[in-house]
Amino acid sequence: MLPWLWTIPALPFAGFLLLVLTGARLRQRAAAWIGAGSVGLAFLVALAVAAAAAAGSGATLPYSQTLGRWIDAGGLHAAFSLYLDALSLLMILVISGVGFLIHLYSVEYMSGEDGYCRFFCCMNLFVASMLVLVLARDLLFLFLGWEGVGLCSYLLIGFWYRDPRNGAAACKAFIVTRIGDAAMAVGLFPLFTRLGTSDIPALAQAAGAQWMRGDAAAVAAAMLLLGGAVGKSAQLPLQTWLPDAMAGPTPVSALIHAATMVTAGVYLIARLHALYDLAPLAEAAVAVIGASTLLLAGCSALVQTDIKRVLAYSTISQIGYMFLALGVGAWQAAMFHFLTHACFKALLFLAAGVVIHAMGGEQNILRMGGLRRRLPLAFWSSLVGGASLAALPLITAGFYSKDLILWFAWDSQRGAQWLWLAGWTGALLTSVYTFRMLFLVFFGAPASEQSRRAAEHAGPAVRIPLLVLSVLSIVAGFVETPRLLGNITLFSRYIAAALPDTVTRAASPGMEAAIEALAIVASLGGLYAAFTLFIRRPQLPRRLAERAAGLVRWWRSDWAMDALYDAVLVRPYVALARINRRDVVDAFYDGVARAAAVAHGALSRSENGFLRWYAAGLGAGAVILIAIGTWGRT
């Protein structure tokens, strides 16, 4: 089955092409079958490939497949090659599996929308681009998928393009991530010029052979590639695009946050772990960026009133946990949290979509309340997803993955106590803002007429994804448990074939128990704080917000990052553009245009409609040509 690996990205891409070519003539039902069906088939092939790899039939991992030669010039040999190992297999299963559930949900959720076929067309291309990104063996091929993901995010965030705000959000996402993309593109040059290859496995071997740990070239390349990862994964200081990306339809938000774009940076660093092992400064920067991002985003999530923006900041924070794990060398912990996060974050966004539909498009959580009985499907799905996000102990997937990150932040040789403290504080904040959202949306009295009249209308296409993701948000955590809770190591043993083990300080079992106990305290303490603030004493948050109005505005505005960029970058650039509007280069081309206009005016006078003047012109031209020819011979 492994030779069929190429069909996994090819199927959604074929769906994209079919929808592009025939979409104008298709009914919604046919577009849904093509859009969701192509991704579903890709997931089935991925399952078959996983089964074949597990059975060792035909070929074993890692497995490579070359589809054709792309570039062969100047010593650069780039091919359309696919590479399957434990890491890329995990990625394609999550992308195609969660992606299919989101597509299935979209069949009903987007029904009746203008551009229904266009929606599935872009979603198919999004999934295909992400699959290319994670399967690519060559960095240039990976960069092709990387750019495809960026293009699709622009198209989908601005799906409702008639609203100028949506177009602005799409442009912002594209431009901000392009900053990171440019850094990544520059980072590819030293890798090729110094190591002589863009093939990822060969590059890892060459880097280990030619560079010592701390080599300046390795640090420079790793830092530039980190710029690309920061942009795509919405980490400091390029995180500002993601909250505004909520302008797109809710299924788009789910796909971006759970299975595609924001996890691309995590995958890139994990895939190039051999390079980051040689660049301790870059690796430390990954940890610092992750720790800082998870704290800042957690504070911002505490004060948001839009349900989708709460989830957006939670994604920024949770990706920060993955960066923290990558930065301390806990590769398996980062990918374990990627797996659990994909399940519970997709669940939360899809459940939020049910709430928004039932509320007639209202997204302000302060205008909700009391929806627990009116929207039982959305309530139970949100409760399961929220509990996993808040790492409710023992019974949720998020607890086991986040606990593993906190443990390695403490015990890893590259970890530090302050990194653990940042992660623990972030866990406390996560629990508070998650249960704040749940209590304001589903508990208490209805806060508006929409919440009093809200009614749930969810068919099988919506219910099935929510049910499956709810189960996964619980059971996915039991593939890796700590020593004190069963010591199950299925995930770490699986991913060890592609990623190295974490080097630890071998702390005592008592210390591990204390760290786990503190993780439980963070989760339950946040739940208790949210219950006290928003159920028992709901007037207290209002008083606190009034007394700290400036801080609330600062956090709500993403720590005024947009205002900072506007003052430091946007306004000076616009001012310079206005000053330089009539520069020398423009004057030259303006002169060429004016000369062409004058010549046109002069020649147009010869077109006067008198036949004798045309005949005279032909005769004069013939005489001139004969004279030129005669003169040339003499």
Q: What is the mean pLDDT of residues 313-320?
A: 96
Does residue 437 surpass a pLDDT of 90?
yes
632 pLDDT tier (thresholds 50, 70, 90):
low
CB-based contacts of 526, cutoff 8 Å, min separation 6: 390, 427, 428, 429, 430, 431, 432, 434, 435
Q: What is the mean pLDDT of the chain?
A: 91
Q: How far is residue 235's CA from residue 293's CA, in Å, rounded to a whole number?
A: 6
Q: How far is residue 410's CA from residue 418's CA, in Å, rounded to a whole number?
A: 9
Question: For residue 441, what pLDDT is reported?
Answer: 95
Six token digits for residue 90: 């995990």
Q: What is the mean pLDDT of residues 352-381?
A: 92
Question: For residue 422, what pLDDT is reported?
Answer: 96
Q: Please, what sign has the CA dihedral across residues 541, 544, 546, 549?
A: negative
Place of tokens 């497995």: 63
Q: What is the mean pLDDT of residues 59-63?
A: 81
95 pLDDT tier (thresholds 50, 70, 90):
very high
Amino acid at residue number 111: S
Six token digits for residue 207: 């880097």
pLDDT digit string, tens, across residues 494-512: 999 999 998 888 777 888 8
Q: What is the mean pLDDT of residues 224-231?
A: 95
Does residue 555 surpass a pLDDT of 60?
yes
Q: What is the mean pLDDT of residues 534-556?
A: 89
Q: How far is residue 320's CA from residue 344's CA, in Å, rounded to a whole number?
A: 16
Nearest to 268 by CA among 396, 399, 130: 130
What residues are paired with 306 via a beta bridge? 364
Q: How far is residue 15's CA from residue 23's CA, in Å, rounded to a whole number?
A: 11
Does residue 19 surpass a pLDDT of 60?
yes
614 pLDDT tier (thresholds 50, 70, 90):
confident
Question: For residue 587, what pLDDT is reported?
Answer: 76
Question: For residue 279, what pLDDT is reported?
Answer: 94
Does residue 24 surpass a pLDDT of 80?
no
Q: Please, what sign has the CA dihedral across residues 297, 346, 175, 156?
A: negative
pLDDT digit string, tens, across residues 152-208: 999 999 999 989 999 999 999 999 999 999 999 999 988 988 888 889 999 999 998
Least confident of 33-47, 284-298, 548-562: 548-562
Question: For residue 584, what pLDDT is reported?
Answer: 67
State percent of the chain over pLDDT 70: 99
CB-based contacts of 219, cutoff 8 Å, min separation 6: 279, 281, 282
Q: How many CB atoms lie within 10 A of CB 585?
A: 8
Least confident of 136-145, 474-483, 562-571, 600-609: 600-609
Higher pLDDT, 504 or 400: 400
Contact at 8 Å (CB) between 138 and 191? Answer: no
Whether cis (ω within 30° of 0) applies to the bond prior to 249 is: no
What residues are paired with 240 via a beta bridge? none
Contact at 8 Å (CB) between 437 and 353? Answer: no
State percent of the chain over pLDDT 90: 67
Does residue 76 surpass a pLDDT of 80?
no
Q: Please, what sign has the CA dihedral across residues 269, 270, 275, 280?
A: positive
Question: For residue 59, what pLDDT is reported?
Answer: 61
